[in-house]
Structure 1
Amino acid sequence: MLLVGLQLTATAGSAVCPTKKFTADRTVFHEGRALGYGAKGRLLVASSDFLMDRTLAQRIQYLNKIEEEWEEGVKWADQVIRELRDGFEPSKWEDVVWTNDWENRWNVFVKNKAFSGHKERVVWSKHEWRFFVERCQGRSLVTGQVLEGRACHVDRVFNSDSYSVKNCLTIEQGLNFAKRDMLEFQTSNSFSGRCKLQYGVQKLRNAKKRAVSNLRFSFIAPDVLK
């Protein structure tokens, strides 16, 4: 992020390809107002993987929602983490109906990992995967926020681990991209704690809080929405 006089130049995740962390897209703030750029009136607030390709209005709404619902979201997430920490019991799922919808969702998950070259890391069974997905309910285990579509990302706490209930979490896609470059998440070889989920989530919550705090000065509401 670069401040030059009354201008704020920002780069962010590409709206076309979110996996590309940086783009030449920019937003200029002048006298407290955000100026549009590019096609379809797209607006960006700040340089941040956490916010990805949200519009200005969506970014402001997201930041406000994170702050207002933080305690409730964290409380919910911690309860789910405790359930996941206890692990998956296959005997409890022997009589659970496996529908075509679940089969399709499972196949999509496996194909996506194969496409990214991580198929060999998928060690959980489809029933274990379903147990994880149902417990997480499409919400982030970091913030507790409800995530939709591609915004809800299933990934390992440590990049070196395989996919299993005790190694994975649901996470905001933008936060997941940022996590990939954090040194503390590269390998679990030296991890000696009881719960990888608790360790990873706490680190990510701290990072999220810092990001929200740093991004707060990047807009002046409500004038920017006029």
Structure 2
Amino acid sequence: MNEKLAGKVALVTGGSRGIGAATALRLAAEGADVALTYVNSAGLAEEIAERIKAGGTRALPIRADSAQPDEVEAAVEATVAEFGRIDIVVNNAGVFTTGALDDLDVEDFDKAFAVNVRAPFVTVRTAARHLEQGGRVINIGSNVGERVPFPGFSIYSATKAALIGMTKALARELGQRGITVNMVSPGPTDTDANPAGGPMAAVLTGHTALGRFGQPEDVAAAVAYLASDDAGNLAGATINVDGGFNI
């Protein structure tokens, strides 16, 4: 694979499974050294790190709970301490909080916003002290941040809609320093949290133009593009990797 990211250092939050793991592996295949955070999946994080190292670049698994701002900040600083720099931030860690309105409470709301919105803000704020011109921030959104065809998404959709606004605002602010901020919004994607053979699969694929689930690698490819010099003139943009869910 063409190593467009050779010499770069990336931090991928929630990088031990699913889209995060695929993204960490893709950025490494493009030549980047990669730090990846996890909360409970230490074994999986170590496995991804070993696969990255086997490919010839460096890797650093970091335990960091995105619900804890001090741990988020520490993950950024640990990345810089280990690799000497940070060039690419991928805010992927998230919680999928859904349910009927009567079944949700304030604690559900607060936890979702802490992980899905506050953590990306803290990550970017901390990383911005180290990012230089050409730096990249990529936020992982969701198709339901823009369109909500099902009930039960009041909290989750609100967090991802907030991330759209924050992406645009940060793009305006950091763009003055030559740092781009963009978003990738997946649709139905085959992960352990939302398998292509799951009970909702037929309903979800029925809302897509392509009639199928995407793969984590599809999302990772879009992230790799936004992390590269090829995307240098994109700011505040969203790439929908959703099979046409939102058209």
* TM-score range relative to shorter protein: under 0.3
TM-score, normalization by structure 1: 0.27
Structure label with greater radius of gyration: 1
Larger strand fraction of residues: 2
Scaled by the length of structure 2, the TM-score of the pair is 0.25
